[in-house]
Structure 1
Amino acid sequence: MNLFRKFVFSSIVSAVVIAAIYFYAFNYQFGAPIEASYDVKNWIEFKEEMARRVEGPRVLLVGDSNVLFGMDSSRVEGLVGIPVINMGLHGGLPLDRILNVALETARSGDVVVLPLVWNYYINDYSDPEDWMIDQIIAWDREYFDGLSMFRKLQYAKAISAENIYRNIIIKFNSEAVIKLNPLRRQISKEEMMTVYNEKSTSNPYFLYSYINFNGRGDMRNTCGVLVPVTSATYSIKDKLNDKSVGLLVNVVKVLRAKGVAVFIAAPVQIDDEFTRGEPYQSFLAKTWKQLGDHGLPLAGSPTDFFFPKQSFFNTPFHLNCESNGDRADRLGKLLLSVMPAAGEKLSAASSKN
């Protein structure tokens, strides 16, 4: 073997060894008790369990934290006549992670309502975000494993060697880290439900935790204005993101094929000078029209859930408890207006159970 061939062979062997070491290191880091929002795992499991316990047709309110907060699902249920479950989750979750909940939970006869904030339509859901990367490493490997190879490579590329090393060290010292940070310990669904049954009814204060959910999945103890809000954080873009809308179109098709009715509703928004101004109103009109042009099932108008500033609890996406009833009434009436025939059929089916 001449010198050149030796060089090529050794280079290939070195590359393979380095790749193998990186692959091992990358996979080893999963489950490391790094700083992350571990309770979101409990949110997902709790809401899926609450939905599972309901027999017959259900209305599933699926989305981000604008769905989680400021909702009275029981009141909506009283209007539409079938059980309503609040499946609202964390606004940091990407669109496909949120829609996965609908795909995994919805069954024939259900109605899925998607009151997503506008960012989900105008931003690329496939762009890795630092917050979500931490969740994947800490507790959501199942989501990562379900991604396409291309998406996996996107996430792998987004994690620096420095962070991989940090994660490995933390995982190697998991026992000590969890001892210092007990909230980083992942608990089973059984333990989670036991803790909920023991603590949920005795908690009178706001907690960003599943033990602060009621039995329908609504966030409780959110009265008053905890933090003054502003609409200045609302994003405006001229065009929808093709990838995100394409994903949504495909998911709607899959749900409909399962016998699930799907409707897209507007999110809650601050009613003020900015949102009533021409630029924002133009953005809403264009966004709503573009969603409709893609054949997505729209319910109502993009301004259906405008509320004054004093109706918001701690962010411009979270209504307070004083506004729960108003929003529930608007949503219930909206659903009845867009699915009268479906509503009668579902109510009849529900009454038989």
Structure 2
Amino acid sequence: MIGAPIRSEYWVNEMLIIKKHLVKQLEGEPKLIIAGGSSPLFGIDAEYLSQQLKMPVINFGLHAALPLEKILKEVSKIAKTNDSIVLQLEPGYYNRIQKLDTWQIENVIAWDHSFWETMSYHEKKQFLTSIPLSTFGEMVMATVAKEIFPSIIRKRLNALDAEYVISKFNNRPPPSSFEYSAYNLNNYGDMTKAEGSLYQGIEGDIHNPSSLSDFTSKQLTAFVKEMKLKKIKVYFANAPYLVSEYNLDELRASEALFSKDFEKIGFFIDKREDLTFGRSFFFDTNLHLNTQGRSLRTELLIISLRNKAPEITNYAEKKNYNLCNLPN
């Protein structure tokens, strides 16, 4: 019963549909893709980047709880020859292991059927044994509702209909307030209306990541290799940190060790010490910048790209890209 429309984060599926639609509008044009979880979703202003770099930029930030392999597979589908990718992964991805939690399992059952299809026989067997008994019961009920009482779960079913989602996005009214909704995205894939500073929780750990798991290393190595074969450059960027104080020497030493371990995969275009933000710049978690914080982080990304990835800006200048071709 994989495909049973149980309760899950359907807005993430809608967001994926919309972002792939936005990328498709730029077919044939070299573009910059900013990818990762919700850190770039909230923390990057792709519209402003497009204007400053004079090339199309798409914010392909998704959700920090998605499996790493899911994010990489989706990015690999949309990236084309001569594109460039900046992976701004959340720190937790670098030492992640290959084990799905309940949230991820529910999403696979409800809407991420392509992820299920890419699993090996052993992975599918392991997946099925990981489904809680309560979820099996909900799968039965959702399947019955889909066949007999579809109106009860109409919102879920609509979120699975790509044509419906794209039509709703294209005809959406301007959002007046924040909502975790794919229809709060702009035409560059940025989340909008993340205004104010609501987060009162713990700070981030600026020394994280300090190590690279074998699983993540294999995933990123394979991804970079695949992109290289397609003549696509991949750069890595740090996520912003909510930190009030730290020892700079200790940070530089730990970051240098991590970078040394990471150099077999790629390099970071920025430094963690340059991406520390106060609490007033975060929206509702220590991963989500608010509108003000996003502006600062985007300016820092522009500086990093010009210093560490000049071929991106040089290519745009050679193409003399017409901003009229950017998404409206």
**CA apart distance, 1:300:** 2.1
CA gap of 1:204–1:162, structure 2 versus 1, over 3 A, is: closer
Q: Which residue of 2 aligns with 1:114?
A: 87
**CA apart distance, 1:238:** 4.9
Give the gaps of 5 or more residues in structure 1. 1-28
Q: Which residue of 2 aligns with 1:333?
A: 303
CA gap of 1:281–1:98, structure 2 versus 1, over 3 A, is: same
Once the two structures are superposed, what CA deviation does each residue of 1:309-341 show, in whole Å capped at 9, x if it has no partner?
110000000000012221111111111111223
Matched, 1:244 2:211: no
Q: Which residue of 2 aligns with 1:157?
A: 129
Equivalent residues of 2:199, 2:279 under 8 A apart: no
Q: Which residue of 2 aligns with 1:8?
A: none
Once the two structures are superposed, what CA deviation does each residue of 1:182-221 show, in whole Å capped at 9, x if it has no partner?
43223422211221122242x2110111110010000000
**CA apart distance, 1:279:** 7.1
1:302 pairs with one of 272, 296, 301? 272
The number of residue pairs the alignment matches comes to: 321
Q: Which residue of 1 aligns with 2:203?
A: 231
Question: Partners in 2 of 1:31 and 1:108 — Cα distance?
Answer: 33
Question: Partners in 2 of 1:68 and 1:128 — Cα distance?
Answer: 22
Matched, 1:76 2:49: yes
Matched, 1:171 2:171: no
Q: Secondary structure at the match of 1:66?
A: helix
CA gap of 1:340–1:191, structure 2 versus 1, over 3 A, is: same
Matched, 1:42 2:14: yes
Give the percent of matched residue pairs that are identical in Structure 1 and Structure 2.
25
**CA apart distance, 1:171:** 1.2
Structure 1 window deviating more from structure 2 (321-330 vs 342-351): it is 342-351
Mapping for residues 1-353 of structure 1, pairs under 5 Å: 29-54=1-26, 55-124=28-97, 126-174=98-146, 179-185=151-157, 186-201=159-174, 203-231=175-203, 236=208, 238-273=210-245, 276=247, 283-292=254-263, 294-349=264-319, 351=321
Question: Partners in 1 of 2:217 and 2:269 — Cα distance?
Answer: 17
**CA apart distance, 1:157:** 2.3
Question: Partners in 2 of 1:36 and 1:177 — Cα distance?
Answer: 19
**CA apart distance, 1:66:** 0.3
Question: Partners in 2 of 1:306 and 1:177 — Cα distance?
Answer: 51
RMSD between superposed Cα atoms in Å: 2.4
CA gap of 1:269–1:200, structure 2 versus 1, over 3 A, is: farther
TM-score (norm 1): 0.83
TM-score (norm 2): 0.89
Question: Partners in 2 of 1:269 and 1:237 — Cα distance?
Answer: 12
Once the two structures are superposed, what CA deviation does each residue of 1:128-178 show, in whole Å capped at 9, x if it has no partner?
111010001001111110123332232122114553243123312335775
CA gap of 1:179–1:77, structure 2 versus 1, over 3 A, is: same
CA gap of 1:325–1:48, structure 2 versus 1, over 3 A, is: same
Question: Partners in 1 of 2:211 and 2:45 — Cα distance?
Answer: 33
Bigger radius of gyration, 1 or 2?
1
